[in-house]
Structures are given as C-alpha cells and as structure tokens.
Structure 1
Amino acid sequence: MADLFGSDAPAVESGHRPLADRLRPRSLGEVIGQSQVLGPDAPLTVMLQSGSLGSLIFWGPPGVGKTTIARLLADETDLHFVQISAIFSGVPELRKVFDAAKIRRQNGQGTLLFVDEIHRFNKAQQDGFLPHMEDGTILLVGATTENPSFELNAAVLSRSQVLVLERLPLADLERLAQRAEKELGRGLPLDGPARENLLEMADGDGRALLNLIEQVAAWKVEGKLDGKALSARLMRRAAQYDKGGDAHYNLISALHKSVRGSDPDAALYWLARMLEGGEDPRYLMRRITRMAVEDIGLADPQAQSVCLQSWETYERLGSPEGELAIAQALTYLALAPKSNAAYVAYKAARRAAKQTGSSPPPKHIMNAPTKMMKEQGYGAGYAYDHDAEDGFSGQNYFPDGMERPQFYQPVERGFERDLKKRVDYFEKLRATRKT
C-alpha cells in the first residue's frame, strides 16, 4: 500500500516547512490507504485510465487525504488546480473563479476546482456551480465531512460521483509514522505501548498524527518514553463528534441496534462514546425510552417504567452521578426479551386507517343519545360484553364490509407468551360465537 503523505524517496532539506507539508505525496501512487477509490479497479483509477474523469464529491473525516488527492488528480489530468473554501468564499469570489476558468478554457486549459467544506455553501450558491459544470468550464471536486445526501443539492449530486474516504487504520498510521521518521532522520523516543498510544491519539487522522510526531520529535529526552510519560506530555485528541452531524446519527444508530441485538456491552460502549462527545443525556434518555417502546414492547411491559424511573433519577441527581441511572436502564433494555409486535401492529393499523378513509363504525357500537339516532338504528343489537358468557360477546367492531384484519401478532418471548395465549383464546371464542 502506498503512502498518503510521502514516498520512499530520500529525505531532502526543507527548512522549517511543517512535516505534513514535507511529506505530501507527489503522485497518486504514493497515497497511503483509500484503496476503495484508488485501487487497481477502483473508481478513480478506472476514470483516469479511460480518460473520463468527471466531477466528484469526496466524503470523509478530516485528515484522510481529500485535498491531496484532488491536487494530484489535477496533475494527472493537466488541469489547472484552484482551491477555495466554502467557509471563506462567497458569491463574489466564486464569480472571479468562474471568470478565470472561462479565460483558461478559451486558452485551451481546463480547471479542476476543489471546494473544501462544500456543504457550507447554501443551496443557491451550490446551484451556481451547475452551468459551469455542464459546459465544461470547471471540473468540480468537492470535499465534505457531512453526509452529501443531506447537505448537497440533488442537482449537484446528479452531476457528480460521491466517493467515500475512510479513517486511516492503525496499520496505515504506522506506515505514515515510519515515513515521518525517515524524513526526520531519526526514530521517535517512544517504547512500543507509547507508540501505539500515539497512533490512537490521532484517531484515524493522518495530518493530526504528523503534527503529533513533529511535537514528539522536538523533545529532548534520554531513552524512550512509556505510555504514561507520553500521556503526561500530550493531550489525547478529542474524538470527532458533532451533536448535529453524521457522528450523532451514526452513534445513536449503533446504540439502538446494540440494544435491539441484546448486547449490553456494545450498548454501554456507544453510550459512553456519546457522553464523552458531549451529547445531552436527556436526548439519550428520550431515545432509550423509545427503544423500550419499539423493540421490547409488551414482551416486558416493565421496561418503559424502568426507563422513566431512570430518567427521573437523572433529573434529580444531574451529571455525572445521574448518568449511572441511564446506564442501568440501557443494560436492562439490552437484556430484556424483545418484541416489536405492538409496533408492527400499530403501523399496520395506520395503513389500514388510511386505506379505509372515512368508513364509520358499525351502528351497533355507536351511541344513540337522541330519538332520531335510535330510529336510525344506532346502538341496536349491541351486546354488552359483561353480560355475555366468559365476558366476551365476539361482536364485530370494524366498519361494515371491512374484512377483519389481525394487526397484533404477539411473539413467543417474555410476557407476550401470555398475551399470545389470550389472543388465541379470544380468537377461538370469536369463532364459536359466529357459529
């Protein structure tokens, strides 16, 4: 696998340039990782080999090579590279970029426009790219850390291919560290566990790793530092978590599915990740209570009460003591019997309600408070269930002419085993009453 920020070429004197800048690759063949987009049969390789490079959207976390790959694509295709950031650019700056690209095109050279943080442009600004993409004035390469499906115009997406760039795994970060040591001309003063800690501190971000390495390499120490000494000198990089972004939705999805999958350890891990990221515990309790309703339901009716009691305990204790109550509720849910039968029944009933429109109830179960309503047959023939044998009349309660559905089908788990017996019992009585 090639290197994202450097090659095997000998180190050269670079003055005071930052290490990350000195180790920038000079060709796509030197890029480390991202084989899903740069491998032999991957999209970018196929595009370049066929000479049909189109507009692209790079979606991925910081420090995985989005800018580097865009710059190298311009080199590979002899396009003039222009880089702007949506954070600092507005309509006037974009107009100047497009005008310059038009002049360049008239002179026989195309333009690869790299737009960092493209999701920061509003919808109207994004629309401004479309005519210049369509007439070939620019080849757009956008970079975003947010989900393009939510943040980019459908028109921009339809004219681009979205390529996902991934966090660098530890093996790739280790190779990057080795390249850095070669460039520096010396090894890092760290023992094995400390070196692993350093790689983990980067959290998959190659640029962050090189910045950390540059700090460590500048220390004047004797021998090698262990993990404790490293942690005392370096602060661990904060985990990437945006309470309104992809990480928020990805982690709550992981938490929910861990509970549904009856894995308390995984559920507690994702809970801890979200709390460490600064998530509001009240949001978590709301979602955890929803899990009790959706995925446990009547298999354990007590689950909802456990959640509500834990929520109240958190409100009384506050953080951090109250967060233990959240963890206890989550553990209870993960180990509780699971059933979504009531949830499925509810959705089926909603669909049926939409299909049947305004069909009225059968007259025998409608009240008749007036003489005219009685004359119209309201309430006629209603069987009072408490007076019936077994306390069950078996009458029809659906609109006339509607075939009786069965929405609720309890499972053979937890308390729903008993409910299933009741459902079967009443179904047999209903059949008997009909005959």
Structure 2
Amino acid sequence: MSSPRPLADRVRPATLAEVVGQAHLLGPGAPLGRMVAAGAVTSIILWGPPGTGKTTIARLLAQQSGRNFVAISAIQSGVAELRRVFEDARKARAAGTGTLLFCDEIHRFNRAQQDGFLPVVEDGTVVLVGATTENPSFELNGALLSRCQVLVLKKLDEPALAQLLTRAEAEEGLPLPLEPEARTAMIDLAGGDGRYLLNMAELIFSAEDAAPLTLEAMGQLLQRRMPTHDKAGDGHYDLLSCFHKALRGSDVQAALYYAARMMVAGEAGETVFRRLACAAAEDIGMADPQAVPQVITAWDAYLRIGWPEGKLFMAQAITYVATAPKSNASYMGFAAALAEAERTAHLPPPLHILNAPTRMMKELGYHAGYKYDHNQPDAYAGQEFFPEALGPQEFYVPNERGFEREVKKRLEYWAGLKAKRK
C-alpha cells in the first residue's frame, strides 16, 4: 500500500457521473444511467477501444449497486478459476451479497468457456460485465449475447481528454509543463485513449523540467507512439472500409491517405492490393477494363521488388483505381443473374443450343436450328439463349461512363439487328 500508485489510478473517477466521454451511456436517460437509477443492474458487454473507461465503469457499477467486485482476465484465467469464482459468488449470494464479475478481454475465451457463463448469468449468481475491444457479434457466442446488453463505448474526444489532463494537474498540484502547441499535440497523440494520455502526462510530470516543453522536446521525451491499428480486429476492417469507399468515391487523396495509414501501422501490402483488385472489378468494371490488369501488374511488381521501393507500384495502382471512371454494372448484373438462377434453376435450356453427340439426341431435336454466328451477316445470328419458360432477361445494363459507353453502343446495335431479323 506504500508503493506509489500510477497517475491513471489516482485520478480514476469515484462515481459514474465523473466518467468522461460516455454521456450516451451514463446520462440520466441513457442505458447505464437508467439501470443505476432503477437499482437493477443487468449483465452487459462493454465494447470499445482501449482507455475509454470499461474497467472503471464496471467497478463503479458494482460500488453503486452494492455488489462485490470480482475481476478476471480471459488472458490469464482458465476453467478452474472460473469455477472458483462462480462458487464464491454462490456463497456470497447465499449470505445476501451479490457479485459483479468483470471479465476483461472476454472475447479471448473460447466458445466452451463462454458457455460456462450461461447458467450463472441465467440464474443471477453473477452480474456479468464483459469488456472487449473486438466486435461481439463475431467474437462472442450468440447464447451469451442474448443474455447480455451490448453497450458501445466511444473513443474519448478532445474535450474529454482535456478534462482528464485538468484532473491530472489537480492531482499533481501543478500545471503540466507544456507549451500550448505541445499540449494540443499530446491530446492528438493519445488517439482517444485516456489511459495512454495519463501515462504520457505522468512521464512529463516526472521529468521535472522547469520550462514548459516545446513540441519537439515533448516528442523527444515521449518518443513516438505507433499508430493504433489492430491487424486482426476492427481497426483492420475499419481502415479497409475507409480505403475502399474512398476508391469508389473517386477521392484519390483520401485513398492514398488510408492506404498510408495501413502501411504505417504495419499492414501487409498484399492487403492493400487485394482491396484494390476488388474495387477495380466491383466499382470500375467495364468502364475501364484495364483497371484489373493495372492492379495485378502493380501487385506483381510490388511482390518482386518489395518495400520500400514497392510503394511506387502501390501508389500508381491506387491513383489509377481512384481516378478511373466508375461503373458497378457488371457486378450488379451478375448479382441479379445469380438471384434469377437460384429461382429458375429447374428450367431446361432451349434444345437448339445443346450439343447432340449421339444419334438419339439428334432425333430428339438437340442442336436443331442452331445458327453458327460466324456464318451470319455481322457475325451475329440473334438467336434466343434463355430457357423458353423464362424468356429474355436484362441483367447487365451498361452506363455512359468510360469504355462502357462503347459497350452500350454494341448492345444496342445487336438488339437492333435481332429486332430486324425477327
């Protein structure tokens, strides 16, 4: 007890009202606010980035509801410890005291371990507060999710982080020795993580510099924080989504930025090229049929040359895809064809387009009346190819952008020939 406590622990909120940045959960009419006011705390999953107050909220919920607070971590706990915790909770319940069980990184428990929570949550032996930085829909059992309310915590915004710094200064009894520009930069550097911000503040306080630190001096003291990006979690998919949408929206500047964000964070270059290839087919398609070959060629060069020179080919592929004319007609046409195929898979194709390798098949009319297109004027016979019961369909509808304008002219020309020959 005599050892010094970290600054982040010393300024930890004493009540839920002191928690910053989560008013959407803790306000009077918000889910946790109503829960505490009614005195009916139920099992919840707190989903949010690091340093947003998940552990603090769990502690305060236990405190304000009069329950024992028990904390475990899915990284360190196994089945044996879970059984012990559940048994202790049953004894406490028999003695008239409830238990709030806080499980950090709950997504790291496997499916069987997650199932172990079901009976004790179901019968009220424990109120479970699970914390996760991963999407619960993907990482937690449906049975467990059905028994818990999922609450989403937000990254701390600038006012919330500034409030934490003010509390830290009050706790230390002196202002943070930073010039205004450095103070603003430190808040930006925290990336919405309150714990990280307070850890940086503690390091600056411990430096005991008489003069306020400049931006450059603060950078030397703190070194550089790696960008927050979990390659196996939501950060990975969020940046990929931003990148693809920038490509689709023809915003080459934003596309370059989000690709750079991924590369700076240590993402594999192949991840960027996979998304480029998908965008080239999905969002450009026949508006510029060269988009896919351009991406694949650049990808091949990237793999042959490697980083850092490989960024030359990545940059070219990104700018090509972002600035190319856009059309999703091919993609949408095939999606419509797939849906129609599911519905009409039982319909036989017309006999004239079926081969007749045997005499019996010829006698049954297979291949009868088929016209070889190359023997027809304009190399176009204009025959029907859809099942008779289905009739002609239109799935691919080209637009007027890029090369697809020429494709549209061809389709209209062939449609005209077919009408004349009928």
TM-score interval, normalised by the smaller of the two chains: over 0.9
Residue aligning to 1:326: 314
1:316-355 paired onto structure 2 within 5 Å? 316-355=304-343
Residue aligning to 1:362: 350
Residue aligning to 1:280: 268
Determine the C-alpha separation between the residues in 1 that align with 2:324 and 2:253. Answer: 14
How far does residue 417 in structure 1 lie from its aligned partner after superposition?
1.4
Q: CA RMSD in A?
A: 1.5
How far does residue 366 in structure 1 lie from its aligned partner after superposition?
2.0
How far does residue 172 in structure 1 lie from its aligned partner after superposition?
1.4
Determine the C-alpha separation between the residues in 1 that align with 2:66 and 2:208. Answer: 45
Alpha-carbon deviations, 1:299-321, whole Å to 9, x = none?
11111121112112212221011
SS of residue paired to 1:181: helix
SS of residue paired to 2:207: coil
Letter of the 1:57 partner, please give it.
Answer: I
Residue aligning to 1:414: 402
Which of 23, 36, 41 is matched with 2:29 structurally? 41
How far does residue 180 in structure 1 lie from its aligned partner after superposition?
0.6
Q: Does 1:265 align with 2:241?
A: no
How far does residue 183 in structure 1 lie from its aligned partner after superposition?
1.0
Alpha-carbon deviations, 1:192-223, whole Å to 9, x = none?
11112222222211111111111111113242
SS of residue paired to 1:150: helix
Determine the C-alpha separation between the residues in 2 that align with 1:29 and 1:127. Answer: 34
Determine the C-alpha separation between the residues in 1 that align with 2:128 and 2:258. Answer: 37
Determine the C-alpha separation between the residues in 1 that align with 2:271 and 2:10. Answer: 44
Determine the C-alpha separation between the residues in 2 that align with 1:270 and 1:35. Answer: 30
Residue aligning to 1:57: 45
Q: Which runs of 5+ in 2 are unaligned?
A: none
Q: TM-score, normalised by structure 1?
A: 0.93
How far does residue 43 in structure 1 lie from its aligned partner after superposition?
0.7
Residue aligning to 1:7: none
Alpha-carbon deviations, 1:385-425, whole Å to 9, x = none?
23333332211111232221101001121111121122222
Q: Does 1:426 align with 2:414?
A: yes
Change (3 A) 1:83 1:341: same
Q: Does 1:240 align with 2:222?
A: no
Q: Does 1:152 align with 2:162?
A: no
Residue aligning to 2:126: 138
Q: Which runs of 5+ in 1 are unaligned?
A: 1-13
How far does residue 85 in structure 1 lie from its aligned partner after superposition?
0.7
How far does residue 96 in structure 1 lie from its aligned partner after superposition?
0.8
Q: Does 1:174 align with 2:166?
A: no
How far does residue 15 in structure 1 lie from its aligned partner after superposition?
6.8
Which of 174, 187, 190 is matched with 1:186 structurally? 174
SS of residue paired to 2:71: strand
Determine the C-alpha separation between the residues in 2 that align with 1:50 and 1:426. Answer: 71
**Contact preservation (8 Å) 1:203, 1:237:** no
Determine the C-alpha separation between the residues in 2 that align with 1:369 and 1:107. Answer: 85
Which of 382, 387, 394 is matched with 1:399 structurally? 387
Determine the C-alpha separation between the residues in 1 that align with 2:101 and 2:219. Answer: 41
How far does residue 161 in structure 1 lie from its aligned partner after superposition?
0.6
Determine the C-alpha separation between the residues in 1 that align with 2:59 and 2:354. Answer: 74
Residue aligning to 2:373: 385
**Contact preservation (8 Å) 2:347, 2:389:** no
How far does residue 277 in structure 1 lie from its aligned partner after superposition?
1.4
Which of 218, 228, 240 is matched with 1:230 structurally? 218
Letter of the 1:48 partner, please give it.
Answer: V
1:183-222 paired onto structure 2 within 5 Å? 183-222=171-210
How far does residue 364 in structure 1 lie from its aligned partner after superposition?
1.2
Aligned residues: 421
Determine the C-alpha separation between the residues in 2 that align with 1:221 and 1:144. Answer: 38
Percent identity of paired positions between Structure 1 and Structure 2: 55
Determine the C-alpha separation between the residues in 2 that align with 1:115 and 1:16. Answer: 26
Alpha-carbon deviations, 1:259-294, whole Å to 9, x = none?
111111111111011111111101221221111011
Residue aligning to 1:8: none
Letter of the 1:47 partner, please give it.
Answer: M
Determine the C-alpha separation between the residues in 1 that align with 2:410 and 2:24. Answer: 54
